[in-house]
Chains A and B, each alone.
Chain A
Amino acid sequence: MQSPWSRREFMATSAGLTGGLVASQLVSAPSPAEAVAQPTPAHYPVTLNLNGQTQTLELDARTSLLDALREHVHLTGTKKGCDHGQCGACTVLVNGRRINSCLTLAVMHQGDQITTIEGLGTPDNLHPMQKAFIRHDGFQCGYCTPGQICSAVGALSELEKGIPSHVTADLTGPIPVSQAELRERLSGNICRCGAYSNIIEAVTEVAGENG
């Protein structure tokens, strides 16, 4: 069989180069390389301020913030898509800034304030962004949605602070809240269902209310 690309190569390629949503876990096999004496798993205490509540956990140093949230605190609203920074499903707000919780260790967040989708709103008291996503039907399967919403909340706060983006024409002037700006600012969140146009409508509406 002389196909120029095997499926595996294709997956590896997309994972490494475009940052697209692919199951890059498929390509990870243990490296047969250098046998280094690896320590036994080490555990550390960490105290997080999680959605306004103090949580002290005892965690293996390897635990990502994402796994700490899902597997240890059982806040499963935050999703794991790729586990490699390529999809945005795991987006949470740390000290008010959006980050990918899969590419950070929980032990690095001693004392930090973490806001997840569960902390933004509750079923009886939804955050305006959650309401807008429902109003505009900004999802299909819903898997990317918590990440999209946390990311959108982070994006609007970045706009408010005047943080520029790749499509900002004038780096020193005021930044318009345009569709192009919002699309660029949300490019770190992939939606396999392709609900993008409704997502942008929802975020545009909330941006308008803020502005």
Chain B
Amino acid sequence: MKAFTYERAHSAQQAARAAQQHPQAKFIAGGTNLLDLMKHQIETPTHLIDVNHIGLDQIEKTPDGGLRIGALVRNTDLASHPEVRKNYPVLSRALLAGASAQLRNKATTAGNLLQRTRCPYFYDTTKPCNKRKPGSGCAAIGGYERNLAILGTSEACIATHPSDMAVAMRVLDATVQTVAPDGARRSLALAQLHRLPGQTPQLETNLKAGELITSVTLPKPLGGRQTYSKVRDRASYAFAAVSMAAIQMPDGRFRFAFGGLAPKPWRVEAAESQSQPPAVAEVVLAGARSSSQTDYKKTLTARLIASALKGGNPL
């Protein structure tokens, strides 16, 4: 790990300002992704701003009946919150399907959203990777790409976003609140947080330098039947091959969002007006670019959709 200086922030604004003073700084929350990458020298911040004590660890109802989740709420605490278990079960389920209990006890809401890809070549610093080293090429395309993306990719990068939690937040139409170093606050739809790679896979989000996530807000509960299905190589403690957050709303309509398919949580609203499983799958998978290694993801996606539409709980 490269050397860095360390400070503990005591407010969101102070943290964002500190980031502006140290251009090579990173915020550290649970540390479960950042420290992993720093040990590999994939991330080499010169300064760490510890945001664990900025007071954003509360879950509270919003005036319009939604839920505001502080950026520092731990994944375990979010998954077990009574309001989430009762009214947003798809979110509890997605969180509980991710990582291990030890990691969920540390991992935070904002850190989970901003965790980086698990592309094996991103992690292997002896290989070309446009995300890690812009312009160096992509070792994954034509390499071992079985777990990589088939939607939203580019010739520069086919990495997936690995979060389970983000997939559930996408199906729930969550929004993300932030504060900038100059104190400006804004809210953006979760759908707008992550970028597609295009020619700049190193730019993963639409956050600006030093912008700190302060909370994630869920709209008022949708009700209905909510499931999170995660297909993976082993039954626990593994990233998704394909995952699906599905909600059958009280009026019978469906919503779907997918993990493991794309560089961001993948949702195609136009698919939700279809009622036959093959039609839904066709719209979700429109434009998919798969290889012999990743064709299976299309089959899995279609089967997950079919099973949800039949009212089953796929997994």
- Check B103–A84 contact: CB distance below 8 A: no
Q: Check B102 for interface membership: any CB of A closer than 8 A.
A: yes
Determine the main DSSP class of B at the interface with A. loop
Q: List the B residue with the shortest CB-CB distance to A30.
A: B41
* Bitwise interface map of B from 128 to 164 toward A, beta carbon under 8 Å scored 1, else 0: 0000110000000001100100000000000000000
- Check B118–A103 contact: CB distance below 8 A: no
- Check A9–B118 contact: CB distance below 8 A: no
Chain B residues, Cβ within 8 Å of A19: 99-100, 237-239
Q: Check B296 for interface membership: any CB of A closer than 8 A.
A: no
Chain A residues, Cβ within 8 Å of B79: 163-164
A172 to B32, CA, bound (A): 29
* Bitwise interface map of A from 153 to 173 toward B, beta carbon under 8 Å scored 1, else 0: 011001001111110100110
A15 to B39, CA, bound (A): 13
- Check B133–A39 contact: CB distance below 8 A: no
A100 to B31, CA, bound (A): 11
A88 to B237, CA, bound (A): 11
Chain A residues, Cβ within 8 Å of B97: 166
- Check A103–B2 contact: CB distance below 8 A: no
Determine the main DSSP class of A at the interface with B. loop
Give the contacting residue for B122; candidates A16, A83, A183, A185; CB below 8 A: A16
- Check A171–B238 contact: CB distance below 8 A: no
**Which of A60, A85, A98, A165 has the most chain B CB within a 10 Å cutoff?**
A85
- Check B122–A103 contact: CB distance below 8 A: no
Minimum CB–CB distance from A22 to chain B (whole Å) comes to 11
Q: Check B253 for interface membership: any CB of A closer than 8 A.
A: no
A46 to B118, CA, bound (A): 33
Chain B residues, Cβ within 8 Å of A84: 36, 39
Q: Check B58 for interface membership: any CB of A closer than 8 A.
A: no
- Check B36–A85 contact: CB distance below 8 A: yes
Q: Check A74 for interface membership: any CB of B closer than 8 A.
A: no
A83 to B36, CA, bound (A): 8
A28 to B127, CA, bound (A): 11
Q: List the B residue with the shortest CB-CB distance to A97.
A: B105
Give the contacting residue for A104; candidates B2, B31, B40, B236; CB below 8 A: B31
- Check A13–B144 contact: CB distance below 8 A: yes
Chain A residues, Cβ within 8 Å of B238: 17-20
A58 to B36, CA, bound (A): 23
Q: Check A38 for interface membership: any CB of B closer than 8 A.
A: yes
- Knowing A16-B118, A163-B80, A184-B236 touch, does A103 contact B32 (C-beta < 8 A)? yes
Q: List the B residue with the shortest CB-CB distance to A84.
A: B36
Q: List the B residue with the shortest CB-CB distance to A187.
A: B236
Give the contacting residue for A33; candidates B99, B120, B127, B132; CB below 8 A: B132
Chain B residues, Cβ within 8 Å of A166: 93, 96-97, 236
Chain B residues, Cβ within 8 Å of A27: 40, 123-126
B residues at A contact (CB < 8 Å): 1-6, 8, 24, 28, 30-32, 35-36, 39-42, 44, 46-48, 50, 52, 76, 79-80, 85-86, 89, 92-93, 96-97, 99-103, 105-106, 118-127, 132-133, 143-144, 147, 233-239
A residues at B contact (CB < 8 Å): 4-5, 8-9, 12-13, 15-20, 24, 27-34, 36-42, 44, 60-62, 64, 83-85, 88, 91, 97-100, 103-105, 107-108, 110, 151, 154-155, 158, 161-166, 168, 171-172, 183-185, 187-189
Beyond A8-B126, A17-B118, A42-B6, 17 additional pairs, beta carbon < 8 A? A5-B144, A13-B147, A15-B123, A17-B120, A18-B239, A19-B238, A27-B126, A30-B41, A36-B46, A41-B3, A44-B6, A62-B3, A97-B76, A99-B102, A103-B35, A171-B93, A172-B85
Cβ contacts A to B, 12 pairs, < 8 Å: A16-B119, A16-B123, A17-B233, A18-B239, A27-B126, A36-B46, A37-B46, A38-B4, A104-B106, A154-B102, A164-B92, A187-B237
